[in-house]
Amino acid sequence: MTKQTPNSYKPGVDRLEDMNKQALVAWLEAELRGQMHILAGKEEDYPVQAIVNHHPYLSIATQRRVGDALESLVLDWRKDLSAWPEASVRALLSLVAELGVEGAKRKLLPLVSDRRVWGQIAVLQPAVLRALATLSLNEDRMFWSQLPQQYPEFAGMAFQVLTRIAADDALQLLSRIPDNGIAVGSVARTLPDFLSQFSPERTIAILNQLAGAIAKLSSESAANLKQALEDSGYSISLPPCPSKEKEDFCKTMNSFAKKARSTNRLPLEFAHAF
């Protein structure tokens, strides 16, 4: 059953219903830039929450026009990346994601594939990927599976998206998660909920696979993942960790070398030989 439009939303809904696409583009841009607020809400609701609140009460045709207007604004921003304040872009990206503006996906993807442009929006990279993540469907699994090769710092986010759109691809990505705190932390925050969707038998098989993947990580990363699983009631037994042995060996050798002469350092090739 469709909810009745709350009385206090009616004036705002009526105003938006009367706007054509061009008027919506002008209004949305002014909202996003903080120059105008016409919808009911308090200061902290502007611009995104007030629009998200009113959106379900718009007619389908107006919702479509709002989506088209947001797509136009994404294009405007893309054409001149420096012309929009960071907060306005974040609000725009939140809106396209939360209102499910699927067309925006095609307009955002070129930003990721062009390294030069991607570098220009360093501070907004997570926000762009977050919007793409929300809009992604199963057909986008290749993009997310390949993203960690290009940008390892977003491997954890890629895993998070894949758990939703392509579980098998997420499992494959687990075995090549880069050993850095960012990626491992993202996986740790997602893994227990991801596992909870599988049958007990499948969960055991996945945990075994996971144990192998975890064993390749540094002791700190492995401990992080193990704790996340144990905190959610999963038990995982890790095989002896070669990297841990290597870490211990390196520490011992360093300590020995420094005792012999304080300026000594363990040669890298020696460590690799181990």
Q: What span, in angstroms and rounded, lies between the C-alpha atoms of 255 and 43?
A: 59
Closer residue to other proteins, CB minimum distance, 65 or 90: 90
Closer residue to other proteins, CB minimum distance, 238 or 266: 238
Q: Virtual CA dihedral for 35, 37, 42, 46, nearest 10 degrees?
A: -60
Q: How far is the CB of 136 from other proteins (least distance, A)?
A: 9
Diameter of the chain by CA atoms? 82
For residue 133, the one-letter residue type is A
Q: What span, in angstroms and rounded, lies between the C-alpha atoms of 86 and 123?
A: 8
Q: What span, in angstroms and rounded, lies between the C-alpha atoms of 92 and 193?
A: 29
CA angle 148, 151, 152 (to 5 degrees): 55
Size of the chain in residues: 274
Q: How far is the CB of 201 from other proteins (least distance, A)?
A: 25
Q: How far is the CB of 154 from other proteins (least distance, A)?
A: 6
Q: What span, in angstroms and rounded, lies between the C-alpha atoms of 15 and 50?
A: 14
Q: How far is the CB of 253 from other proteins (least distance, A)?
A: 28
Phi, psi of 9 (to 5 degrees): -85, -20
Q: How far is the CB of 129 from other proteins (least distance, A)?
A: 7
3-state helix, strand, coil in the chain (%, to 5): 75, 0, 25
Q: How far is the CB of 189 from other proteins (least distance, A)?
A: 5
Closer residue to other proteins, CB minimum distance, 69 or 124: 124
Closer residue to other proteins, CB minimum distance, 171 or 228: 228
CA angle 75, 81, 84 (to 5 degrees): 90
Applying CB under 8 A, which residues contact other proteins?
Answer: 3, 6-8, 11, 36-38, 40-45, 48-50, 52-53, 56, 90, 94, 97-98, 123, 126-127, 129-130, 133-134, 153-154, 156-157, 160-161, 164, 181-182, 184-186, 188-190, 193, 224, 227-228, 231
Closer residue to other proteins, CB minimum distance, 177 or 228: 228
Closer residue to other proteins, CB minimum distance, 4 or 199: 4
